[in-house]
Structure formats: C-alpha cells, structure tokens
Structure 1
Amino acid sequence: MIPSRISLVFLLLICIIFVPATASLTKIINGAPVFIGEHNLDLTACLNGHTVIAWWPEGADRSGDPVKTVTISGDVTSYYIDPAIFTGYTGTWYTHDTKPDVPVFVLYNPQIDLSVWDVDTNTDITGQSVPMSTNITYRITTNLYMALNYTERPNYNPSDSFFTVTLTSPSGANIPQIYTGNLGAPTTQIIPFDSAPVIKSSPYTWINGPAWDRNAKGTDGSNAYQTGSYTFVVTQNLNQMSSSYSGAAAFGTVTSGDKTVTFTPDTPATTPTIVPSLTAPSGATATNTTPQTTTLTQQATVQPTVTVIAKKTTYSPLPAGIALIGLGIAALALAAKRKY
C-alpha cells in the first residue's frame, strides 16, 4: 500500500513540474489596455467597489458631464466588453459614481494584419510573384501585443499565446516545418514553423523565415517544395474575442484573412559571351559587333591568352682539343706577321 501511495505522489509531482501553466489574461489592473470584444474580464482590482464608469473624448474637460456612462452589473470577475455598448468609445474610461474619478481601463479596437515580406529588399510582396529563391518571412502588425504585459495583466504566462499562424502549400496542405536544405544533407535543419508566436511588440517578424530553402531536394532527388501560391493566415482569440466578430467585421480584428505569395521557378543567371574585337584592314570599314549573352547552361568558348617570353641566346663552349689547335694557329700567324 505504501509503495502505491509513494508512486501516486511521485506522479502528481511530475505533473506539477512538467505540465505548463495556463496563462490567464482576464485579470487587469487600473489603466490596463483592454479590447472591444474581450470576454470574462476580471475588473475587481480596477473598479475597487465602483459600479459606474464614464467616458469623455480625449482631452475633454472632465468637470462636465461625460459623453457615455455604463453601469457595471452582475459578476465583475467575468465582464464582457460588448461591441454593442463600447464601439465608438475608445480611450480611457473612469469610475464615476463617487469622486475622484479613477482610470479603470484604456479601451482599444483590436487590430491585426499579416504581410509577406521580402527580406533582401525590405518590401511587402503580399499577393505578388517572386522567384523560388527569394528570402521571405511573414510580418505581423497588431496592437494586441499590449495584452501580453504582466504588469497590467498580472496572471500572464510568457509561454502562452493567443495568436495562431498557418502556412499552406499550393495544394492546400499544412506546412508544420521547413527545411533549410536538401533532405538528408548533414547541414540541413528541420525547423518548426512559427505557428504560435508570442508577440510582445509590433511589427513581429518570423525570424527563421529566410532559412526556408524552397529549392531543397528530397532524398530521391525530387523537389521538396512545388511552385505556386502559398497562403499565410494569422488569427487571434484573446479571451474568446473571436466569438465577438463575424463576417466582414472579423477581418483586421480577429483574422488577417488569406495573404498569399506565388513562387515561380528561378530565372537562369546570364553571363556575357566574349567576342573578339575586329580590326578593319586598311581601306575597309569596321563593323561594330553587338555583345552576345548566353545562359550558364551553355559553354562560352574563350581562347586562352598566351604570353610569349623571349628566349636568351646562349653559346656552348668548344671542346678543349679544338681550342688548343686554334691557339697554336693563332700563335704561328702572329709570328709570321712579325717576321715580315
């Protein structure tokens, strides 16, 4: 019996240690950013017993009557920022049933978008066609990153995210990972696709995007990736916000919609063909030759340059016997000349 209890305790400890904590982004403090459409917000700390909140336009004199007031009724630990009530009243909301007015929260319209980005030219190529070898990434712009701040949402867990990004191939298949080179090559890495980014600033960029080699080959030599249109989509569901927006209202608030880029085969590089200069003979007119280009798949015929080095003239010495005879003849000739 005792060993069984020990095993049970051990299993419970393992679960506590290794099961990740779930983030709670519902609890907020005074002045925290919140978004229209959030469910189940815990306003206990920021209301501090107040039940009426009010809104004035930014910069307005708050000594006068507010433009909008809302009475908080029901469970303040599970409050819904209803679009039907709060749309059109973004900015700071204050307590208003007793003085002084204290900031409750700062209200925003949720905004989210994704673009396909050319890393080399630092330009947006969403919806365009580019060669397969173009270095690309995705780039997300949003104001929802403000919710991932534990100083304003104290139960926030940095390991969790409410953003989801998907990438699908031209055939509609999900791409859960990318290859940095040919499959099976020792230097090739298999990198998980950044599908659950923790976005704490904007814009957010997929850091491993440029490592994606779409010209990679499979182990059988076939193409690992096909040409055609690839589709990126980012969605967000901060505190079940996706249920607050539907149809056209969902685009730009809880989803980016489809963002595509079309990859085409790489264009072969070109290299100039060397054409020798022609010198016109005397009395003739020279004709200009237009330089030609050819693809790398063709071999340009280039005549090698030959450097001619002048040879130094050398003389071999005469054999010793012949040299002595020559000296004897020269001596006799000299003696005869003196005699006469």
Structure 2
Amino acid sequence: MICMLRGSVYLFILMVCLFSIGVIADGNANVPLVSVPSFSITSAGEESNELNAGAITAEQNSDPAVRATNKISAGDSLFIGENHLDVSSALGTAGSIAWWQSGNEGNVTPDVVLPISSPQVFFVDPVFFVLKTGEWYQWIGNQKGALAFTIHDPSLSLKILDISNDEDVTGKDIKRDDFGTFVIETNLYPALNRTGYLPSDSRFKITMTDPAGDSEDFLVGSFGKVHPLNQLQVDKPLWYWIGLLDDHSVPDINDGWNTSATDLNETLIYKPGVYKFRAECNLNDMKDNYKAPDGSDYTNKTVSIAQTVTLVDDAVLIDANPKQVVPGESFVTTITGSPNTEYYLWMKGTSFMSGQPGDQPPVITPGQENVTHDATPGPFIIGNYVFSAGAGKTIRDDVPHDSVYNGTQFYGMVKLDSTGQKSVLWNTSAATKSTSYTPSIERKTDAGYVADTCTVTVDSTMPVNIMAAGTQPFHRGNSVSLSGKNSVSDITYLFMTGTGLPASGGSLGSPLTPVLSDVPSGFDSAMVSDNDTWAYNWVVPQSVPCDGTFTLYAASMPKNLTDIGEASSGSVPVVISSPGNTTSINLVSGWNFISAPYVLADGNNTMAIFSGVNSSGHSVLSYNGSSSSWVTMKADDLFYPLHGFWIYSVSPVEIPLTSGNGTITPRTLEKGWNCIGILSPDRTAGSVLGPLGSLWSYLVGYDASVQQYTAPLVEGSPSVDSTMLHVKEGSWIYIKENTPFSG
C-alpha cells in the first residue's frame, strides 16, 4: 500500500512511505517501510513477496462510457468529482450553462456562464464547482432556459448497528450471536435514478477489514446467506444494508452480519477482535478526482469515516485482590462479563477437604446483594449445576460439605450489574486451610461455556516484602528509604539485579560484587523488629554501571536470584539515572529513526526540541500499532522513551538531551508492527527482547548513514544474542500478541 499526498509530496513517498509488503511466519502483514530499496521478510518455505518502489503503478479505471450513470438527463443531480458525463440531453440546444448565486436568482444576468464545448465528456471539476453548487440552467442566446442539472457536494456517512438489540455499536462492542447491519446516510442516492441505470452500474460499496488485516467483499447472514458489500443499491438518503424484504428504509431484524456464522467444519468464520468498515462511492471516478486538501480520500464526501466495531465472545473474567492473605483476612473477587447476567461462582477443586475447621476453603461472605446461595438443607438448584471440563461433576461434587452450611457458602450465584461487573467478598478464618485456591466463574451459553479462574493464596506465614520511598528516578548518591515486613526470620537480606550487574544479583552497597547463596556477609541486611518490620537506608552507589530500571530484592534467607525460591522474598523495581545527565542525538542528512534514551527533563522533553531542524516541510512522525497508522507529532507532544520516531533533516544537526526525574512506565506493544527504542545502555537484542519470549517475530533496524534498513533479526536465530541495539536509535518490531515492553 502506498501512502500518496498531493501538493509538495514528497520525497516521503520515495524514502519514507510507507507500506511495503512482507511475508512473515504469522501470515501476511503490511510492513511499514522507510527506504527506497525493496524489502521483504520471507519465512522458510514461503515465496518472497518483494515490492519495489519503481514497480508500483496506478490502478487503471475502467471505461466510464459504458456506465449508464454517466448519461445525464435534464433535471438530474450531479456531484462534484464526477467525470466523463454525457450532458448532451440536459443541455438540449444550449452551448452554455448559467448559475446564480443564492439570493441572486431574480437577477437577469447570471453570476457565472460556463460554455460547454464537449458535452459528452463533462467534468464536475472540484476546483471550479466546489463554491458553485446548486441549480445550473441552460443558457441560450443570453437567455435563461430550462434547468439543466443540479450540482451537489457529496456527503457519505456510515454507522454500525447491533440489529438484535436495536443499538448503535459504532466504535463499541457487538456480542457473538447478535446480528450486525449498516446504515448509510448520503445525498448520492439520486444517481440510481438516472436514465438507463442498471444495478451493475452501482459504485457504492462497504469495505471490511477483519482483525487479521484481511478483507472480504461479502458477509454471511442468517441461514448461510451471502450478502455482498459492493454494488450496493443505495437508493435512499437513509439506507439499511439488509432491508425488510425490498424496503431498505427499514432494517431486517432477523438478518444481517451473522457474527456466529460457521463454515462447513462448524468453525466460526468471524474471529473476535476489531473490524473496520468504510462506505465508499466512486460514481464516475468521483473518489479519484475529489480529494481532501492533503490528497487523501475525502472523508464524509466520497468515503465515510472508517468505523470500527469489536466482536466479543460472551467472555467472563475473574480476578482476586489481594492475591495473598493470612487467615482472618478477607479478599475480593471481581467478576467482569455480560451486564445483568447470572454466573456460577465457587471455590473450585476443594472437594478433597473435609470441610471441618482447619480443613476448609474460604467462604463467600453472606448477605451480599445479587449473590444468592442454596438453602442449607436444599434443594440445591445452584449446587447441582454440571460445570464444564468436570467429567460430569456438579458444583456440590467439587466443594466440601461442612457441618454449619452444608457446603453452600463455598459457592453461589452472582448477578452482574448494568456495567457487567460485580465484586464478591470472601472471608477466611482460623478454620481456613493455608493453601492456594482457585475461585471459578462460569455460565453455559448457546455456543458452549464461558468460564475463568484466578488464584488466591491463604498463608499463615506473612510473606517478606520491600518498598522504596521517594520519587523516582533515584540519582547516584541519593539516600533511599527501604522498608518492609518479614515475619519469617530475624534478618532481611537485600540484593539487586539489573543491566550490567551479576546475573544472580549484586549487593546494594557494591552492585558489581556478586552475592552468593548461604554467604550472609556478602548481602546487605536489616534487622527485623518485634512487630515484624524492617528498615534500611540505602545510598545509591556511584558504581551502578548505567541508567535504567533495576530490581531490589528482600529475602528471609541469604539466597541470591538463582536460589530465591528457597526463601520467602519480595521485590520492588527502581529507576536510577544521573541528575541532569546530558547527551545528544546527532541527526544526519535525510531520514532519521530515533528514540529518547531516558525520561527527559521538563522543558526539554517535547518535540519542540527539534524546532530548529530544517525538515524541508516534513513532519515528525510516530506509528500507532493499534490502528496501523502514522501519527504526525505536534510541538507539545512528548518525546518519550521506548518509542521510535521519524524525523527528516536537510543537513546534519546535533540535538542536546537532558535527563529528568520521571518514572519510566513499560509500554504495551500491539500485535503487528511497532516502532520502539531502548533504554541506556547499548545491549544485545537478546537481552532487550528476552522478556518478550517468543511473542516477537522480526526486528528491523535502520542505518541512517546510508538511508537503508539493516538485515532483519528473526526470533530464535543465533544472531539475536550477538547483534547490538543502540540507544537513541529506533527499530521496527513485529509482535504476535499484545505484550508489555520495558526496553
């Protein structure tokens, strides 16, 4: 796909723009590229799919003369951008047409007289007609004749409806099992009334892009019917895609986009995720001729806004907070699902317990609104529910039966509120067994089951934890108050890990010195007080080898990171940087792919720092992975770490950077292509991308000195561990699933 803009455009097309095609292991993906040479990524066994800039040609329009929609009769409506119109019949014997500005219709002399020398190839030129819409009359011998035609500025919009619930879901969710439809609002419908019009002449269509980036020209409806998305017969100002019988002014509430349609193998055709739809009309090439000022398709005129809808399965989620308690404490499970819907909730897999004090699970706190239980003696309407993947077991088969509640407080029926949420309180006590538990939520649907679980631990021993007080980042030489709890031992052992430090951890006072398990003298330590708390004043040493995020550990025993599982422990991340640390980015002539190496100081942290760069009219650009689109940066937009930015410079220039005190928050990389940068210092790709596991496929750097991409790195190849990634340089990365990234 090529991004083309009119006007001064643009070395950007030759060097920066935008989308070449690569074939990757996860399927086809549009790869945003920024270099003149061809580029492809090919997996083993797949054909290369290269696309050279010089090989791209414009799509050839079919001959408009064969379309009945270009035959204009007297009184017809014409639209800006239409071309090759035969207006002979509308002109009659007139050789010119005349137009009166609104309010001047009573004047004898028109405001504009336009001679028509070639009535068989009339062009409603946007440059001329955009301010001269309305009625145009035959002009014969300086006399006003009959109405020739009326010229309109086209309008086109699209909404997405959940017709099963009579709800506008444009930009929202549509649930599986519901039918979707579209409503087009436009003034272009009179074109279908032109003399000789045939259904095949229609140039109305709706484009669809599914979550995988693929497109179709039809959607499956009820009973397997195929409903086309092109050559739509939009003959009304408010037109429903699937009308009631032949009346498209009324939607068919029993047909449309069947979100639960399956193929011959009973596999769902439409996967959950974001679907994009856009209405278009290229009536007599109007979409090609009538462009927005920036050269793009004219939104709300020849194309609608690209609208989205998210297809969601009837999913349910459950989460526990806190996830670890001691007997006597309470916790909450928060359930998120379908609004005003009931779900079964129980403490799964606890039937092995006796239910007696000391050997029973947590209980649901009684008396909660919209949480119901079976009566203690029965009947067990809730408890007799047969849950999924339980080999025919009921909920009552899966929980113990105590002497007080007969097991009924270990499960219940929960009704979610109008927002689709409900928080349920659970109690523990001395009667609760110390172990890990699995609260479970489930509901049976027409399509099967929706279910989720979470984990909560009841532990009679308090875990060790650690907190770091103060505003981060911390600078070398700063005094940082560390504190926490430790009910396991009398001494808390401390160490740290991070970039440039020993793999199993270094001491807090001397980070480059490795700590060894079972050698207490090598650890910094803090005595635990009678109330099971500890405190330690840590002065950040100058020997911390680089700026970045490090992890501090507190343990009940002198165990390093390798053996930390043998002790009770807790950890906390800290960001360390140099105060007022100053460096610079050196831009070269041409396009530069850059990134901030750390959080920048206030007043030095926006795109305004590049205001002195002679960019020859080019904008600073970033890339939005979620929408697969470029973003033009403004002067007050932040220049932030972990992201990649494109900037053009006519000549080499140095941009100074000053570090600040902000905390670096990991960003979420979206499925597909993302522009990233790394934090200081330079590191191998393996160490940077290791936390992503196998969730990435390709990483492609850019060598600004030669204005070309570097060879792509492929996940799993040996070169990942030897290739260096450099701070202040951006890279493209292809992600298989959304995942956090900390640089």
- TM-score between both structures, scaled by the size of structure 1: 0.66
Task: Kindly indicate whether residue 223 of structure 2 is the aligned counterpart of residue 103 of structure 1.
Answer: no
Shift in alpha-carbon separation, 1:118–1:46, aligned structure 2, 3 A: same
Q: 1:39-76 CA distances to partner (integer Å, 9 max, x unpaired)?
A: 11112122122222221134534334322222222x21
Match of 2:234 in 1: 199
CA contact (8 A) 2:221 2:227 kept: no
Displacement after TM superposition at 1:274 (Å) = 5.4
Unaligned runs of 5+ in 2: 1-65, 243-251, 315-336, 344-370, 378-408, 415-441, 445-743
Task: Kindly indicate whether residue 298 of structure 2 is the aligned counterpart of residue 263 of structure 1.
Answer: no
Task: Supply the AA of the counterpart residue of 2:131.
Answer: G
Q: Partners in 1 of 2:221 and 2:125 — Cα distance?
A: 46
Over the aligned positions, Cα root-mean-square deviation in angstroms equals 3.1
Q: Aligned to 1:148, what secondary structure does the other structure show?
A: helix
CA contact (8 A) 1:165 1:196 kept: no
Q: How does 1:210-225 map to 2 (within 5 A)?
A: 210-217=255-262, 222-225=267-270
Which of residues 258, 281, 286 is equivalent to 1:236? 281
Shift in alpha-carbon separation, 1:179–1:158, aligned structure 2, 3 A: closer
Displacement after TM superposition at 1:230 (Å) = 0.8
Which of residues 160, 165, 172 is equivalent to 2:206? 165
Q: 1:180-204 CA distances to partner (integer Å, 9 max, x unpaired)?
A: 57xxxxxx42424333211111222
Displacement after TM superposition at 1:105 (Å) = 0.7
Task: Supply the AA of the counterpart residue of 1:110.
Answer: P
Task: Supply the AA of the counterpart residue of 1:82.
Answer: D
Q: How does 1:292-311 map to 2 (within 5 A)?
A: 293-294=413-414, 295-297=442-444
Shift in alpha-carbon separation, 1:241–1:259, aligned structure 2, 3 A: same
Q: 1:290-327 CA distances to partner (integer Å, 9 max, x unpaired)?
A: 99524545xxxxxxxxxxxxxxxxxxxxxxxxxxxxxx
Match of 1:86 in 2: 129
Match of 2:271 in 1: 226
Match of 1:39 in 2: 83
Shift in alpha-carbon separation, 1:240–1:216, aligned structure 2, 3 A: closer
Q: Partners in 1 of 2:81 and 2:215 — Cα distance?
A: 29
Q: Aligned to 1:146, what secondary structure does the other structure show?
A: helix
Q: How does 1:320-335 map to 2 (within 5 A)?
A: none
Q: Which has a greater percent of helix? A: 1
Task: Kindly indicate whether residue 120 of structure 2 is the aligned counterpart of residue 77 of structure 1.
Answer: yes
Displacement after TM superposition at 1:131 (Å) = 2.2
Shift in alpha-carbon separation, 1:189–1:250, aligned structure 2, 3 A: same
Q: Which has the higher contact order (CA 8 A, sep 6+)?
A: 1
Shift in alpha-carbon separation, 1:127–1:200, aligned structure 2, 3 A: same
Which of residues 96, 104, 113 is equivalent to 1:52? 96
Match of 1:125 in 2: 169
Q: Aligned to 2:286, what secondary structure does the other structure show?
A: helix
Q: Aligned to 1:25, what secondary structure does the other structure show?
A: helix
Q: Partners in 2 of 1:206 and 1:225 — Cα distance?
A: 19
Identity over aligned pairs, percent: 28
Q: Which has a greater percent of strand? A: 2
Displacement after TM superposition at 1:135 (Å) = 2.5
Q: Partners in 2 of 1:47 and 1:223 — Cα distance?
A: 55
Q: 1:235-280 CA distances to partner (integer Å, 9 max, x unpaired)?
A: 21111212212334621222124221011221464167455499xx
Moved over 6 A (4+): none
CA contact (8 A) 1:112 1:252 kept: yes
CA contact (8 A) 1:177 1:190 kept: no
How many residues are matched? 257
Q: Partners in 2 of 1:156 and 1:222 — Cα distance?
A: 40
Q: 1:61-104 CA distances to partner (integer Å, 9 max, x unpaired)?
A: 4334322222222x211111111111111111112343343211
Q: Partners in 2 of 1:85 and 1:23 — Cα distance?
A: 24
Displacement after TM superposition at 1:114 (Å) = 1.4
Match of 1:251 in 2: 299
**Looking at CA atoms only, which structure, 1 or 2, has the larger radius of gyration?**
1
Match of 1:11 in 2: none
Which of residues 116, 122, 139 is equivalent to 2:160? 116
Deviates more, 1:207-216 or 1:41-50: 207-216
